[in-house]
Amino acid sequence: MWRDASLVAGRDLRVEARSRVTINQVAPFALLVLILFAFALDPDGPVLERATPGLYWITVLFSALLAIARSAAVDEADGVRDALRLSALDPAGVFVGKALAVAAELAALEALLGLGVIILYGADPAALGLLGGTCLTATVAVASTGTLYGALVSGLRVRETLLPLLLLPVLAPVLIAATRAFEAALGGVPADGWPWCGLLAAFAVLYSVAGALAYGTLLEGS
Amino acid sequence: MIAMTHAGYVAAAWLAPAALIGGYALVLLRRGRSLSRQVPTEERRWS
Amino acid sequence: MTATTPAGTSSGTTTPTSTDPSGTRTGRGAPGSVGPSHTGSAATRVLGLLALAAVGLLVLYGLVISPADREMADSVRIMYVHVPSATYLYVGCFITSLASGLWLWKRTPGWDALGETGAEVALVFSFVTLLTGSLWGRPTWGTYWVWDARLTSTAVLTALLIGYLALRRLDLDPDARSTRAAVLGLLLVPNVLVVNRSVEWWRSIHQDSTLVKLDPTIEGDMLVALMVGFLALGLVFTWLMVHRFRVAWLEQQADRVDLDAALRERRAEAKGQVAPPAAPDRFDTSDPSGPDVDEKVTPA
Amino acid sequence: MEPAVHLRDAVALLGRFPALAGIDLDVRRGEIVLLRGPNGAGKTTVLRVCAGLVPVVRGVATVLGHDLRRDVRPVRRRVGLLGHATGLFDDLTVADNVTFWGRAYRAGDADIAAALDLVGLSTRLRDVPVARLSAGQRRRTSLACLLARRPELWLLDEPHAGLDHDARDLLDGLARQAVDQGATVVMSSHELERAEALADRVVELDGGMAGQTLHEVPHVA
């Protein structure tokens, strides 16, 4: 299974390396959203500073939507689904591979946005352990959920609009948990943040398992 | 009973759901009726 | 609310969670013979009457007999609708998840229909819950929307249900659509649990003391009124489920019927140059895996 | 030796449309069979059914000894499908594509390299992204993907479409070579004169049902 996963992850990342969509389009989009938030909320006032964790994770979620849509589109090229079904690749491996590729891209985006928030919003990172833990669990959670829901809508005419409709309510808990964890880390008592991190980890495990199990069924159902 | 506080809200909180569920029930009956005509009897498991 | 058509028919009962309804079909009545042209049956009429009676009782208890609350005065009466409908919202979601899981496992179309039924009825109850919740919030806290844990998670749940039904409404080919809807449906309950857990935690941090807990201490007539609320909405829920299930069942049958005509058409297309094999009549397209139930031609 | 393909009164659906309405077809091992017939006769569906991609809802369907109605997975490992859709990743190079699909089908690196050589893509075009290839070159790339896995049953859906002259000779040669090594080929085509030259037998298809064998092409020893 892991061999297939690394094969698929390698392919997805190579597609990204060649097409550079995430680097050239999604990353600038993410930074742009940060800037737009600053326009919306007056930068010197307290609001922006207090809302930084929330704004950060909303930006990450929207960028994730683009990265997930891109990852799903790779498999929607003409005939790829059939070739996958004919191949000896284990569907769970394909799922894990694609999720890892999306996770890698997301991690890069989060790092970039982290810098963006520090520079643009003047946030001073504290409790790095909690920040890192939250990012890790949230990234895996979003990547696995996104890959699964990407497969759910693949091949449909209206997938661009259906994917956010299906995915965002599911990711609501991730947004809540990640934001609270960041607030705990930046604002005050990191100890409060760890339970949220735990919730994110549980979410990530739930969806990784669900994705691995369901991916084959989705690939099969034309 | 009449001298009820928030009468407006209570009335709304009871009538609106009744209308919503009642409307949905009617829609269901109408859909059921029009579909029943298309499907021959033995396909149905109720009578 | 019940169909009061005079057509007297023998009583046939269908429990809402009927199992494996697509099994072998029993008698083969002449197609098109006039049966009851609606989804009603003796059972649903009885159920309908019971539901109406219970609603009547609810109105009596909820609005007349039960006293006003000390703090919230009469606005507490909204609770008798709000709390039961929230409960049946979750029951509907549970049925959808269960049915989706069973469809993925057994692939009988009955479960697929039940999954769709559960979600749609749950959606109706989610609107009722949101409506009564905000109408209750207004007199009690002065705002229509309160970021209370239960109300917020109901809102997210409503979005999940809308997404599920949106996916079902896409015109994929039946089997693919059912598979995807089943995977989404199966994930409904886990999603609900995670959403509730995270919203519960989130609100517990920001729970400022002034918020009156949504469930005031209730006893005596108020408790009875709430119980009647559960009974009445329960019967209504079941009645809606049975009818919606039959509508879904009819929709599936309608799909299959056109198919046989298509098969005959397809054969005629062959311009006679190609001899059509012995014309088998009905066949069950819904379970591609198992051997076909109506197989007339024994395999060579 | 059981037949490579044995369909008896098979019915297959595309959504609600019965693309195959009770087809009878038999293909022996080591044979090259051409499916001929008007558009929409079900030629593509027959190939996809044999590849285990479209479920058979009625009748008998056995490919390479496996009953398709029980489990399609074993068949899928042993067939190669070359369809209109190339199944290639536009952003990746020719080499990346063939390597990925080769490994996905558990082909060894040697087979992958050999496949690239056979279709003449191992030199100049090797590191060109597929997006910049012509239709014919794309088809050669997906042919290379098929070659790399050395399938026992070749399912070719209008393989000659879009190929230039020497590419067609190359395809015919490779198909003939594979048959000599025990493979079987079932293909559909509209370039009849060329396809019939290659095929041992031609079967007329119409309305999703197979007719009688039109003519046996005397097998040139």
Contact A84 D81 (CB under 8 A): no
CB-CB under 8 Å, A87 with D81 = no
With pLDDT > 70 as the criterion, what percentage of chain A qualifies?
99
Beta bridge partners of C69: C73
In whole angstroms, how far apart are CA A64 and each of A22, A69, A74? 10, 8, 15
Distance from CA of C267 to the nearest CA of D (A): 6
How many whole angstroms separate alpha carbon A46 and alpha carbon A42?
A: 8
Instruction: Determine the Cα–Cα distance for residues C176 and C238; give it in Å rounded to an integer.
Output: 29
* Residue among A73, A220, A83, A89 at smallest CA distance from D82: A83
The per-residue pLDDT for C1 is 31
Check residue D54 and report its DSSP letter. S
Asked if C184 lies within 8 A of A152 by C-beta distance, the reply is yes
Residue range of the domain that includes A139:
2-221
pLDDT one-digit tens code per residue, D115-159:
888 888 778 888 888 888 888 888 888 888 998 888 999 999 988
pLDDT band at residue D211 under the 50/70/90 scheme: low
Chain D partners within 8 Å of C277 (Cβ):
9, 22, 24, 209
Is it the case that chain A and chain C have 3 or more CB pairs lying under 8 Å apart? yes
Give the minimum alpha-carbon distance from D191 to chain A in angstroms, rounded to a whole number: 23
pLDDT for A110 beyond 70:
yes
Residue with tokens 């894990």: A96
Q: Do B45 and C12 touch (CB under 8 A)?
A: yes
Instruction: Return the pLDDT at C300.
Output: 29
- Segment (H or E) for A49: helix A46-74
Contacts of A13 in chain D (CB under 8 A): none
Handedness of CA A169, A171, A174, A175 (dihedral sign): negative
- What letter would DSSP give residue D217? P
Q: Which residues of C touch D24 (CB under 8 A)?
A: 277
> What pLDDT does residue C258 have?
58
pTM of the full structure = 0.84
CB-neighbour burial class of residue C271 (10 A; exposed 0-12, middle 13-18, buried 19+): exposed
The answer to whether the CB of D57 falls within 8 A of the CB of C263 is no
Q: Closest CB to D57: pick one of C270, C271, C283.
A: C283
Q: How far apart are CA C189 and CA C192, in angstroms?
A: 5
Q: What is residue D32's three-state secondary structure?
A: strand
Shortest CA distance from D90: residue in chain A: A77
H/E stretch holding D27: strand D17-27
Contact exists between A and D (3 or more beta carbon pairs < 8 Å): yes
Phi, psi of D155 (to 5 degrees): -115, 105
Chain B residue with Cα closest to C69: B5
From first to last of the 300 residues of chain C, give the pLDDT tens digit.
333 333 333 333 333 333 333 333 333 333 433 455 677 778 888 888 888 888 888 888 877 777 777 777 777 888 888 999 999 999 999 999 999 999 999 888 889 999 999 999 999 999 999 999 888 888 777 788 878 888 889 999 999 999 999 999 887 777 788 899 999 999 999 999 999 888 888 887 765 434 444 555 677 778 888 888 899 999 999 999 999 998 998 888 777 655 567 777 777 766 554 444 444 444 444 444 434 333 333 332
Partner chains of A (3+ C-beta pairs under 8 Å): C, D
Is the pLDDT at A61 greater than 60, yes or no? yes
**What tens digit of pLDDT does each residue of D2-41 get?**
788 888 888 888 777 778 877 888 888 888 888 888 877 7
- The number of angstroms, rounded, from the C-alpha of C243 to the middle of its chain's C-alpha atoms is 9
Q: What is the mean pLDDT of residues B17-45?
A: 84
D–B contact (≥3 CB pairs within 8 Å)? no
Q: Which residues of C touch B21 (CB under 8 A)?
A: 124, 128, 236, 240
- Chain-centroid distance, C-alpha D14: 19
Average pLDDT score, chain A:
90
In this structure, the number of other CB atoms found within 10 A of the CB of residue C73 comes to 15
Place of tokens 């709000």: C82
The number of helix segments (H) and strand segments (E) in chain D equals 7, 10
Burial A24-56 (b: 16+ CB within 10 A, else e): eebbeebbebbeebeeebeeeeeebeebbbbbb
Query: In this complex, which of C262, C271, C278 lies closest to D18 when CB atoms are compared?
Result: C262
Q: Chain A residue with minimal CA distance to C167?
A: A162
Residues 6+ apart with CB under 8 A from C210: none
Question: C258, C266, C286: which to substitute to probe chain D, counting the most D Cβ within 10 Å?
Answer: C266
pLDDT at residue C235, as a whole number = 93
Report the 10 Å Cβ neighbour count for B8. 12
Candidates A172, A206, A217; nearest CB to C195: A172
Please tell me the distance from the alpha carbon of residue C158 to that of residue C123, in angstroms, as a whole number: 6
> Which residues are CB-contacts of B42 (< 8 A; sequence separation ≥ 6)?
C25, C26, C27, C28, C29, C31
**Residue entry with tokens 């019965």:** D18
| CB-closest option in A180, A202, A217 to C202 | A180
Of C12, C135, C240, nearest to B9 by CB-CB distance is C135
User: What structural domains does chain C harbor?
Assistant: 42-256 (1.20.120)
Residues of C (96-115) whose Cβ lies below 8 Å from A: 104
D188/D155 Cα distance (integer angstroms):
9
CA atoms within 13 A on the CB side of D156: 32
- D15 shares contact with chain C (CB less than 8 Å): yes
Smallest Cβ–Cβ distance between C253 and the set B12, B31, B43 belongs to B43
Interface of D with C in 100-129 (CB under 8 A): none
A63: helix, strand or coil: helix
Beta bridge partners of D210: D205
| 8 Å CB contact between D136 and D164 | yes
Please state the φ and ψ torsions of residue D6, each to the nearest 5 degrees: -135, 100
In angstroms, rounded to a whole number, what is the distance separating the alpha carbons of residues A68 and A64?
Answer: 6
**Min Cα–Cα distance to chain B from C280, Å:** 18
**The two three-digit tokens of residue D195, written as one number:** 């396809």
* Residue B43: band (very low, low, confident or very high) from pLDDT cuts 50, 70, 90: low
Q: Residue C206: what pLDDT? A: 63
Contact residues, C window 168-207, toward D, CB-based 8 Å cutoff = 172-174
> What local confidence, expressed as pLDDT, does residue C270 receive?
65
Which residues fall within 8 angstroms of residue A44, CB to CB, at 6 or more apart?
A: none
Q: Is C295 on the interface with D (CB under 8 A)?
A: yes
Q: Give D155→chain C minimum CA distance, Å.
A: 23
**CB pair distance less than 8 Å for D210 and C292:** no
d(Cα A170, Cα A61) in Å, to the nearest integer? 12
Tell me the pLDDT tens digit for each residue of D55-101. 888 888 898 888 888 888 888 888 999 988 888 998 899 989 999 99
| Share of residues in chain A with pLDDT > 90 (%) | 55
Neighbors of chain B by Cβ distance (3+ pairs < 8 Å): C
Residues of B with CB under 8 A from a CB of C: 1, 4-7, 9-10, 12-14, 16-17, 20-22, 24-26, 28-29, 31-33, 35-47
CATH code linked to domain D1-78+151-221: 3.40.50.300
C-alpha to C-alpha distances, C103 to A61, A208, C165, D55, nearest whole angstrom: 32, 22, 17, 18
Closest CA relative to residue D104, chosen from D146, D51, D47, D54: D146
Nearest CA in chain C to A181: C202
Return the HEC string of chain C: CCCCCCCCCCCCCCCCCCCCCCCCCCCCCCCCCCCCCCCCCHHHHHHHHHHHHHHHHHHHHHHHHCCCECCCEHHHHHHHHHHHHHHHHHHHHHHHHHHHHHHHHHCCHHHHHHHHHHHHHHHHHHHHHHHHHHHHHHHHHCCCCCCCHHHHHHHHHHHHHHHHHHHHHCCCCHHHHHHHHHHHHHCHHHHHHHHHHHHHHHHHHHCCCCCCCCCCCCCCHHHHHHHHHHHHHHHHHHHHHHHHHHHHHHHHHHHHHHHHHHHHHHHHCCCCCCCCCCCCCCCCCCCCCCCCCCCCCCCC
C173 touches chain A (CB under 8 A): yes
Q: Indicate yes or no: CB of D92 within 8 angstroms of CB of A7.
A: no
Write out chain B residues lying below 8 Å of C254, CB-based.
Answer: 35, 38-39
**D15 contacts C283? CB cut-off 8 A:** no
Average pLDDT value for residue range A144-155: 92
* SS3 at position D182: coil
| Inter-CA distances, D159 with A101, D175, D187, D190, D192, Å | 34, 11, 8, 9, 12
Residue of A nearest to D75 (CA): A86
Helices A2-19 and A46-74, packing angle to 10 deg: 110
Size of interface A-C (CB pairs under 8 A): 75
pLDDT at residue D196 above 90?
no
For residues C281 and C260, the answer to whether their CB atoms sit within 8 Å is yes
Give the β-pairing of D153-157 and D56-63.
Answer: unpaired
**Residue A8, min C-alpha distance to chain D (Å):** 8
In whole angstroms, what separates CA A176 from the centre of its chain? 15
Taking an 8 Å cut-off on Cβ atoms, the answer to whether D204 and C274 are in contact is yes
Q: Which of D13, D16, D209 sits opposite C270 (nearest CB)?
A: D209
Domain boundaries, chain D: 1-78+151-221, 89-150
Q: Which of A170, A189, A220 to mutate to test the interface with C (most CBs of C within 10 A)?
A: A170
D3 touching C (Cβ < 8 Å) = no
Touching C (3+ Cβ pairs <8 A), the chains are A, B, D
Question: Can you name the residues that pair with D11 across neighbouring β-strands?
Answer: D21, D58
DSSP lists the bridge partners of residue D67 as: D62
Q: How far is D50 from chain C (nearest CA, A)?
A: 16
DSSP annotation of D219: -
